[in-house]
Amino acid sequence: MPNLIVLIGPTGVGKTELSLRLAEHFQTDIVSADSRQLYAELKIGTAAPTPDQLARVQHHLVGTLQLTDYYSAAKYEEEVLSILTELFKTKDTVILTGGSMMYVDAICKGIDDIPTVDNETREMMIQKYESEGLEQLCAELKLMDPEYYQIVDLKNPKRVIHALEICYMTGRTYTSYRTQQKKERPFNIIKVGLIREREELYQRINQRVDQMMEEGLLKEAEQFFDQRQLNSLNTVGYKELFNFFDGTWELPFAIEKIKQNSRIYSRKQMTWFKRDQDIKWFHPDQMTEVIDYCTQHLK
């Protein structure tokens, strides 16, 4: 049976370098599970693999989308399973790595078979959002699917809009499609989590933001300011700088908010991942131990 090594952990923990070394050890490819590294234009702010890193190991699903492209976890599941089918014809083992929790779960557990939203419904909901605002859409969701309303992040337009799209298009609640039944996969899954002490992780996150600024994040974000309403740009590192460009925040405050929001996101990631009892946790410096663990669990 082929093997999928899933290397996960919070932002800034050190997944990139360890994934490269794992891929080199097992002589295989890397499939990204980062929902923002999919966008070709977002290089600095997403800490996308550098040209040198891409030259070391073949990567999949890095820089494959434009900012305006529609994408979803369901689409990601479909694409990755297709990629893995091809890779497993010649490779016994493949590395999947990233910190996007829903994308990782889409591959390891599968996601519900929710209908694909047609263009007409999508355009209608975008217009409703732009003309009526998020608060009105939340009120609609409360009426149309009160169960999902109780658990969804009401500050996340994408989630609210998608649920309403399903309600409008099918005449059923979004909740009725959320069966959350785990799908069987035709490959062995080995889950490895990377973890650091919180103080160490936060220091790395802060340093990484400073490094991004030195590498030109300000200039990168500025060129997308006119497109800031796109969901792809509702991303830590960009949305804070947009507040600087429109005069809401001073630059030092915006940079500090990037650091703060990155730390908050890392906590959300760890809360999500720690619910998964199948993950074996290591410090990123334990390269030998990680390789030994993966080798022992290959099938």
pLDDT tens digit sequence for 55-93: 999 999 999 999 999 888 889 999 999 999 999 999 999
Are 187 and 274 part of one and the same domain?
Answer: yes
pLDDT category at 294 given cuts 50, 70, 90 is: very high
- Residue 208 and residue 223 share a domain: yes
CATH number, position 258: 3.40.50.300
User: Which domain range does residue 258 map to?
Assistant: 3-111+181-296
Give residue 155's pLDDT.
85
206-220 pLDDT, tens per residue? Answer: 999 999 999 999 999
Q: Which of 117-121, 228-232, 279-283 has the highest mean pLDDT?
A: 279-283
Residues 87 and 41 placed together within one structural domain of the fold: yes
Among 177, 195, 216, the domain-final residue is 177
- How high is the mean pLDDT of the chain? 94
CATH number, domain containing residue 124: 1.10.20.140
Write down the pTM of the prediction.
Answer: 0.83
Domain count across the chain: 2
- Looking at the structure, tell me whether residues 130 and 229 fall in a common domain: no
Mean pLDDT of 146-161: 89
Please check the confidence at residue 180 and state whether its pLDDT lies above 80.
Answer: no
pLDDT of residue 68: 92
Q: Residue 7: is its pLDDT beyond 70? A: yes
Domain limit, last residue, from 177, 207, 224: 177
Tell me: do 63 and 199 sit in the same domain: yes
Identify the domain boundary among 177, 212, 227.
177
Residue 179: pLDDT over 70? no
Asked whether residue 29 falls in the same domain as residue 81, the answer is yes
Answer whether 213's CB lies under 8 Å from 255's CB: yes
Task: Tell me: pLDDT of 153 over 90.
Answer: no
124 and 254 both lie in a single domain: no
Residues 222 and 102 in one domain: yes
Do residue 55 and residue 100 come from a single domain?
A: yes
Q: Do 146 and 159 lie in a common domain?
A: yes
pLDDT at position 191 over 90:
yes
Both 94 and 169 in a single domain? no
Q: Which two tokens stand for residue 65?
A: 């989308």
pLDDT at 26 over 90: yes
Are 158 and 189 within one domain?
A: no
